[in-house]
């Protein structure tokens, strides 16, 4: 793996796309994480399907390029297979809040130790701009010529209510700020959610709006209710960490310190234990009486 | 009957412990060194309804329950109505006469005697065991030992209740049954337990499942015994998460399995195809019950054979096999987990409620099971999808200095997405080559078809129906050859075409003849007869034997 974190794959995002900001912020985050002792070989990635997912091909790190809406299930599986790994997925707003919303809610509910970064552009861009779960009401696309009839989902308040222990919002136009959010999310033990405001230059160009509305949060809310209230503000677009608490994580609640691939029972030990289960099956007490 | 089969039936409401009594009876017969087969029949509810458990035992190996009982213990009126005619020629019916209503058979106040104990509803199962003990002239001390071991809660109540029932039955019974001792004791396992032990032996690490009958017993067994065996069970939010988590876990090198039934497997189609594309070795357990849709959750069928052969979109190698006995389930489940890793492709254990939830005594040799290691990358540049002669690319698990990319898009050898014509073709050829290598391996190393008995007449069957068929043939002393394809995908036509042209029948538990279609399509075998049952119940070997006798002249 090269130090510059580049791959030979041709980048096919539209010039000016917010995804470039996320890619650059992620590369910076990897460098900072390495300085903090997180070896990049332990950082395992996934992605859903959509424009955002191409990021999987643009960084030379290991992982599994998953299905639309399933990457948060994929990385929970990776974490359960080897809890020593740090797992992170990129997802689109369609991935996370359309196709895969149940996985998001349950990952938050069980405080799975994973990081989900949603490239929230409020449109299905790779399929040419239909409305998505986070599109504004009235959004016009090829399947909603008269405007999206549904109000948008609020990803931040939903994740907070579902039990996420780290919730943040970043902006693709503030790369250094976003990089630090990613670092913090990866280091956080528990379910980390970052909603990234991502302008789609072709289908939902929101640069102007976000540039005037974003304002950096100095520190996370102490109380969940305050974090939720902040997440529901629309007059400004607060970016930064909304909420950050420590709670027991799923794999440890479940396994303790056990690691399936590092602490495997030997084949011989397994066979011995199977034999002992089989031997304990018979009604020996009755047999003994008959002797 | 021409051999020493003895059948014990206990029936009552859900919550009255009929299943437990069946299990205890089976273990009791096993302690007499006899062979047993136990069937549990229950509707999809928790209290009330009508449940029964049948245990058939013989001094020879026995592969099925019999519907006609030598001793029937019927705990309520509904059971009397349902089973009063299910008796052998000398069969004895013992019923609850607490209501005062008289029936043919021996009336015992089973319910009213239970009233003075705590949990009078739950205790009546004990009456079944006490009745059995009295009917086969078992020493009361042995009965005490059984009750103390198997019914530990409120042990004193259970003991005195058992004594009351035992004495009453003993007094009223006209003639006791003589149960000969057999020669060997072997543990009794359900099919689900056998599968759970088999995959544990082959190195399973993680079992993912969302509860669904009839696969749930595997989840329960591995939840209770898995820790001892090095296996953990995880119950995610739905079947989609189940399959995707299992795929994720495999990329770390963890051996992963999922369990489900038809409806849940429908939800896993997308992930099954993902496993085919990224080449993830996930083992699926597909337990059949009558469909379509929600169907009949707690009964049995073989209606998903054709469905199981081509799950998921696109072209990739799939492996499907179905065990024909509870013993075979142990070895086959292990073999399929190994094959999935050898060929890095999803595999399916196809089975039925009749196998997972029935039990019989088994003679297992865990030492025969190995944990086959997959091909592992050793040196040089790593490419997840490197082209090889066999189509199988060596694996590497994170953390690694090498980049390991598993990709759901069509990909190049490095695992990067591709839309290049040449690379698309090459990867199709790679996956096709894997299937060809797999077929060669099956042909050379794996028993893909079982044959039992001899005789020109061929009886084709598969899955748990094999047990019913074998029992019918032994029982009736018929001369024929049972042919059971164990592997169904790839279909082992190399071992089957030799049977073409012989007089034959296909016996299966579905209405359209799915195995028959496969035999015609893949092997040119044109069976002369078919016996199909699709009422949710497994075959009764006696009825099956009658039908077979008419065909084999």
**Would you say residue A3 has pLDDT above 80?**
no
Beta-ladder partners of A91: A118
Mean pLDDT of B128-156: 94
The answer to whether residue B1 scores a pLDDT higher than 60 is: no
pLDDT at residue B131 above 70?
yes
- Give tens-digit pLDDT for A108-128: 999 999 999 999 999 999 999
Asked if residue A218 has a cis previous peptide bond (ω within 30° of 0), the answer is no
Nearest-angstrom CA–CA distance, B409 and B543? 53
Q: Where are the alpha helices (DSSP H) in B32-116?
A: 77-83, 110-114
Averaged pLDDT, B2-30: 93
How many Cβ atoms are within 10 Å of B453's Cβ, its own excluded? 17
Q: Which of B245, B272, B275 to mutate to test the interface with A (most CBs of A within 10 A)?
A: B245
Q: Please, what is the average pLDDT of chain B? A: 96
Chain A nearest C-alpha distance from B23 (Å) = 11
Cβ contact (<8 Å) for A103 and B241? yes
Over pLDDT 90: what percentage of chain B?
A: 94
Condensed to tens digits (0 to 9), the pLDDT of residues B229-249 reads 999 999 999 999 999 999 999
Q: Between chain A and chain B, how many beta carbons pairs sit less than 8 Å apart? A: 216
End-to-end CA, chain B: 21
Lowest mean pLDDT among A165-179, B172-186, B524-538: B172-186
How much of chain B, in percent, has pLDDT values that exceed 70? 100
Position B121 pLDDT exceeds 90: no
Give the model's pLDDT for residue A283: 76
pLDDT at A118: 98
pLDDT surpassing 80 at residue B553: no
| pLDDT for residue A2 is more than 70 | no
Q: How far is CA B238 from the centre of its chain?
A: 23
Examine residue A283 and say whether the peptide bond preceding it is cis (omega within 30 degrees of 0): no
Query: What is the pLDDT, as a whole number, of residue A291?
Result: 67
| pLDDT interval class at A1 (50, 70, 90) | low
**Are A78 and B417 inside 8 Å of each other by CB?**
no
Nearest to A282 among B187, B250, B405 (CB): B187
CB contact under 8 A, B409 and A65: yes
- Say whether B192 sits in a helix, a strand or coil: helix
Which is higher by pLDDT, A290 or B462? B462
HEC states along B463-497? CCHHHHHHHHHHHHCCCCEEEEECEEECCCHHHCH
Rounded CA-CA distance A108/A156 in Å is 12
Confidence of residue A257 (pLDDT cuts 50, 70, 90): very high
Question: Which ipTM did the prediction report?
Answer: 0.98
Is B244 at the interface with chain A, CB within 8 A?
yes
Does B325 have pLDDT greater than 80? yes
pLDDT digits (tens, 9 = 90+) for B480-517: 999 999 999 999 999 999 999 999 999 999 999 999 99
Place of tokens 């069946």: B22
Chain A residues in contact with B364 by the CB 8 A cut-off are 278
Q: A287 is written with which tokens? A: 């047999």
Check A7 against B405: CB less than 8 A apart. no
B2 pLDDT more than 70: no
Q: Is the pLDDT of residue B479 over 70?
A: yes
Whether B394 shows a pLDDT value over 60: the answer reads yes
For residue B395, what are its two tokens? 């694996």
Residue B57 half-sphere exposure toward CB, CA atoms < 13 A: 31
Token digits of residue B148: 């103390």
Report CB contact under 8 Å: B406, A64. Answer: yes
Span B181-200, pLDDT tens digits = 998 889 999 999 999 999 99
pLDDT score recorded for residue B179: 93
Place of tokens 């005619």: B85
């Amino acid at each position: 793996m090269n130090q510059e974190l580049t791959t030979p794959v041709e980048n096919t995002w539209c010039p000016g796309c917010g995804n470039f900001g996320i890619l650059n912020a992620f590369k910076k985050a990897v460098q900072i994480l390495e300085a903090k002792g997180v070896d990049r070989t332990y950082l395992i990635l996934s992605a859903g399907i959509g424009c955002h997912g191409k990021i999987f091909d643009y960084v030379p790190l290991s992982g599994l390029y998953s299905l639309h809406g399933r990457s948060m299930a994929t990385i929970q599986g990776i974490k359960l297979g080897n809890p020593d790994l740090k797992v992170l997925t990129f997802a689109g707003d369609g991935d996370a809040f359309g196709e895969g919303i149940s996985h998001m809610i349950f990952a938050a509910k069980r405080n799975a130790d994973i990081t989900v970064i949603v490239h929230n552009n409020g449109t299905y861009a790779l399929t040419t701009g239909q409305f998505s779960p986070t599109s504004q009401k009235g959004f016009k696309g090829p399947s909603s010529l008269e405007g999206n009839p549904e109000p948008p989902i609020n990803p931040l308040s939903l994740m907070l209510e579902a039990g996420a222990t780290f919730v943040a919002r970043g902006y693709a136009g503030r790369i250094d700020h976003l990089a630090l959010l990613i670092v913090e999310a990866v280091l956080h033990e528990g379910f980390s959610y970052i909603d990234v405001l991502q302008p789609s230059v072709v289908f939902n160009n929101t640069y102007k709006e976000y540039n005037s509305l974003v304002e950096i949060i100095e520190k996370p809310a102490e109380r969940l209710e305050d974090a939720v209230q902040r997440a529901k503000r629309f007059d400004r677009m607060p970016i930064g960490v909304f909420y950050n608490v420590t709670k027991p994580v799923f794999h440890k609640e479940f396994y303790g310190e056990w690691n399936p691939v590092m602490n495997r029972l030997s084949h011989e030990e397994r066979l011995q234990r199977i034999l002992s289960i089989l031997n304990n099956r018979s009604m020996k007490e009755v047999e003994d009486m008959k002797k | 009957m021409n051999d020493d089969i003895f059948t014990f039936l206990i029936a009552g409401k859900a919550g009255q412990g009929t299943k437990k009594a069946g299990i205890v009876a089976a273990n009791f017969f096993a302690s007499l060194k006899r062979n047993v087969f136990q069937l549990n029949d229950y509707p999809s509810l928790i209290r009330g309804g009508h449940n029964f458990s049948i245990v058939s035992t013989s001094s020879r190996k026995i592969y099925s329950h019999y519907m006609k009982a030598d001793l029937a213990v019927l705990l309520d009126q509904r059971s009397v109505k349902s089973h009063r005619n299910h008796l052998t020629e000398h069969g004895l019916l013992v019923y609850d006469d607490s209501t005062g209503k008289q029936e043919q058979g021996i009336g015992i106040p089973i319910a009213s005697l239970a009233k003075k104990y705590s949990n009078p509803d739950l205790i009546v199962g004990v009456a079944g065991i006490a009745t059995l003990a009295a009917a086969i002239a078992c020493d009361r001390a042995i009965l005490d030992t059984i009750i103390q071991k198997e019914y530990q809660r409120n042990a004193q109540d259970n003991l005195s209740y058992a004594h009351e029932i035992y004495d009453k039955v003993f007094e009223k019974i006209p003639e006791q049954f003589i149960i000969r001792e057999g020669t060997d004791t072997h543990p009794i396992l359900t099919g689900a337990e056998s599968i759970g032990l088999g995959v544990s032996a082959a190195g399973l690490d993680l079992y993912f499942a969302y509860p669904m009958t009839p696969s749930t017993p595997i989840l329960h067994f591995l939840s209770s015994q898995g820790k001892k065996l090095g296996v953990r069970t995880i119950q995610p939010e739905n079947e989609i998460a189940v399959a995707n988590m299992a795929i994720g876990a495999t990329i770390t090198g963890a051996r992963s399995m999922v369990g489900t039934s038809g409806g849940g497997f429908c939800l896993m189609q997308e992930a099954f195809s993902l496993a085919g594309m990224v080449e993830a070795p996930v083992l699926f357990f597909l337990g059949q019950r009558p469909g379509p849709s929600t169907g009949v959750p707690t009964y049995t069928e073989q209606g998903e054979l054709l469905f199981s052969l081509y799950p998921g979109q696109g072209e990739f190698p799939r492996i499907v096999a179905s065990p024909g006995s509870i013993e075979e389930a142990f070895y086959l489940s292990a073999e399929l987990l190994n094959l999935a890793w050898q060929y890095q492709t999803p595999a399916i254990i196809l089975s039925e409620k009749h196998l997972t939830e029935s039990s019989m005594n088994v003679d297992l040799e865990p030492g025969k099971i190995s944990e086959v290691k997959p091909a592992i990358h050793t040196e040089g540049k790593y490419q997840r999808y490197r082209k090889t002669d066999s189509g199988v690319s060596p694996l590497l698990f994170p953390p690694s200095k090498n980049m390991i990319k598993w990709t759901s898009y069509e990909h190049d050898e490095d695992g990067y997405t591709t839309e290049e014509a040449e690379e698309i073709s090459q990867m199709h050829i790679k996956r096709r080559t894997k299937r060809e290598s797999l077929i060669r391996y099956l042909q050379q190393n794996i028993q893909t078809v079982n044959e039992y008995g001899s005789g020109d007449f061929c009886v084709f069957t598969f899955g748990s129906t094999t047990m019913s068929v074998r029992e019918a043939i032994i029982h009736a002393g018929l001369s024929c050859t049972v042919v059971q394809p164990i592997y169904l995908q790839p279909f082992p036509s190399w071992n089957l075409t030799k049977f073409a042209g012989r007089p034959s029948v296909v016996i299966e538990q579905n209405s359209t003849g799915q195995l028959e279609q496969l035999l015609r399509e893949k092997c040119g075998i044109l069976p002369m007869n078919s016996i199909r049952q699709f009422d949710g119940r497994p075959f009764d070997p006696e009825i099956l034997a009658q039908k077979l006798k008419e065909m084999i002249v």
